Structure 1
Amino acid sequence: MSNNEEENDSLTLSPVWKSYLYQLQQEAPTAIAIPCYSNQDDANKPHYFDNEYHGSIANQETQKLLQKDGHFLVRESGRNRGHHTLSLKFNGELKHYRLYFDGQFFVGEKKFDLLLDLVNDGLITMHLEIKAGDYIHLMCRAANYEQSPYFTLNERKRRTLSLGRNRPALVQPISDDIHYDKAHVFRIQNFKGLHWCDFCGNFMWGIVAQGVRCEDCGLSAHRKCSEKIPADCCPDLKLLRGVFGVDLTTLNKAHGSTRIPFLVDMCVKEIERRGLCSEGIYRVSGLRDDVEALRVTFDRDGDKTDLGPSSWEDINVIAGVLKLYFRLLPIPLIAFQVYPLMMTAAKEPDENRRSQRIKDAVQLLPPAHYNSLKYLIFHLHRVAENKEKNKMSSLNLSTVWCPTLFPGPDLQEINSTGSIPDFHLEATCLDVMIRQPLLIFSSV
């Protein structure tokens, strides 16, 4: 790969999402209701409570019942009959909150259909406040709009729309006296699935009301972050938002399917149709502007996008878009929880045991990630079978792909040792998968 190609690829595939808060949410205690088995009169129990309701019990008894972090119960308030207290254990301490119900459960501003969701949301919030309070306090103030995911992923879209309206193209720094002509219309949003802030790039934690979304363009952000976003709303953007930068599991849920994303399927089929013998496939980069143009086309036209040679003569452009799609996933294809297992497996000196441990790790991936990885690996295996013509062996392919499929250097934010991913071990894992896909993805 030439220096120009390496620079082009680096610019195209620069990461925009931050995983720190997502991983902390995964570590938060899980809510577990402590059931009441006493023979209390059920007629006195409010209809909206289940067996987590313990009636009138003292603090001392509550302390005995709540043994572990995440345990919770509901009891009648001792000083205010008819009112209820949510008691839960967190960080080794007992905490009590006045609990309200008006058709939904609430303690503060957020309201929940299920009490279990309320407690889980509270545990997540308290866990993040303890582990990352300073980080959360600074993340919005430290974010830069021109380097935000929203600006990065939608620069070409906004430029095209702006020129279409005789508006100034939003490709210059904010300080260059750009005049924005429409404010965003933000509303509190209950996001289904996993979402990241389009301003600071950080995970939007919690179960409900995780942030705000613009009704006109779909921009999503933390409430604090939304206060710093300039009035540059382009309503047409909601028609152009596509699959890039969307979590795989969330995308599958939205489409009601466990299939691989249509973009992956289309790109792989086109590359196998006319690129298997192309020298340096996946190593040689397509022109950055062409890759960006094809990305915008996918966002606009979806599965109607034409990938034929009459539209995209250079097969490396299609290969570049496929790599870009995986590079922009908020949760990498090799998900965070599986990554350490992969690195341990790669260190196994015995090849048979190494393959088995990699297979065991792959089985732990979320279904959406597993299915897409399986599809991609079998494709890369077919590419490697043509190495005499395309000069891309399994080892070459694994070296090119590992920075795209594994968690990137952003792990430094959460790794107490300050270490960065070992690309040699990552390449070893991918090489094993590409050489032995039938073994790695067999169900036996």
Structure 2
Amino acid sequence: MFPVTVPLPEREGLGVGLGLNSADRPGARSTPGPSRSGRGADSLAIYVHWPFCVSKCPYCDFNSHVRAKIDEAGWRDALLADLAAEAAITPGRRVHSIFFGGGTPSLMDPATTAAIIDAVAGHWQVDRDAEITLEANPSSVEAARFAGFAAAGVNRVSLGLQALDDAALKMLGRPHDVAQGLAALDIAQANFPRVSFDLIYDRPAHTVEAWQAELKRALSFGTEHLSLYQLTIEAGTRFAVLHAAGKLRTPDEETSADLFDLTQDMTEAAGLPAYETSNHARPGAASRHNLSYWTYGDYVGVGPGAHGRRALASTVRHKKPENWIDAVQGGSGISITDRLDPAVRASEALMMGLRLRSGIDRAQFEQRTGTALDAAVDAAAVAHLTGLGLLENDPTGLRLTRAGRPLVNAVLRDLAL
């Protein structure tokens, strides 16, 4: 009954910057586009998946792989070829965001990042204020490498701190300690105009008092954005095996609810209210890239296992890196292309949009799905949930109340036709 806490698309693709750095790299190669407030139906987000990690975390079910040696030049060429294949399908579009996810894309050579950003600018018109985000793990952060990413055009970093407690980091299988994490945060803040970091709470034996102290410290660092995820046990992970064997116990439902409520109260008081179930930001600092997912905008996904959606179709790339490489050499990394009928589009847009604090805009929902919002939900359920104070329904749209936000999954089950 509590929020879906795996960062849906941003860690794919769950996670979140504004304005290019002074290099203004893509803008120098493209015509200025409208600001984000004027983003229209032609706007596109680009997701690039780098699947490699130093180690596999026991809670992670993302498409990540540990490899002793990587042919970076070969990978760069393959990503550029996959990107070119997508560009041939989506000509004439504007790009408002580029997101490097993984895996650990901060293991990538900055020159590879630069080549991909330049290629995007060559294929599409890129907004001068485009958000360009790179996910990073503290163990892969070096000052020189971060300076290289900034020079390449990256203007936002999402840092996977995950905890501010050494024992918790060890339990989570993270290859860094708190000191390394905070050093990486300092380097990020010195190099990028926009910085976000992730924390996982609702961990085994996690108490309200411990999380209160940890979150207070996190909020003192002055970043504009935080992604705060309740730990979930995902099938196929090491944690799932331990949980099934009774060797890993997460907090009870009442404690989980208290932890969630405390998170909302503290971030709100600090000026970083939740704008999505697990994402918190200062006004104007929400992730443009992730908003594309949550508002059902179009996006291109390249790299192993990456998902995309453009026009009326969704795409999935081959998941295994070696299979993806072989497919790209044959022309495209796409494994599956599905035509999305209006009912599927409406269901997906409802699931994503209701996670937003602002909820679902009626006009935008119909424009992007081909279905009126009222026709996509159970009218009796809407009336019932509104009466319970869990949902707000008005001429502009549909949104969860403060009481309803922790119950997003249950509400969605009731609303679905």
TM superposition score normalised by structure 2: 0.28
Larger Rg: 1
More strand by share: 2
Q: Which has the higher contact order (CA 8 A, sep 6+)?
A: 2
More helix by share: 1
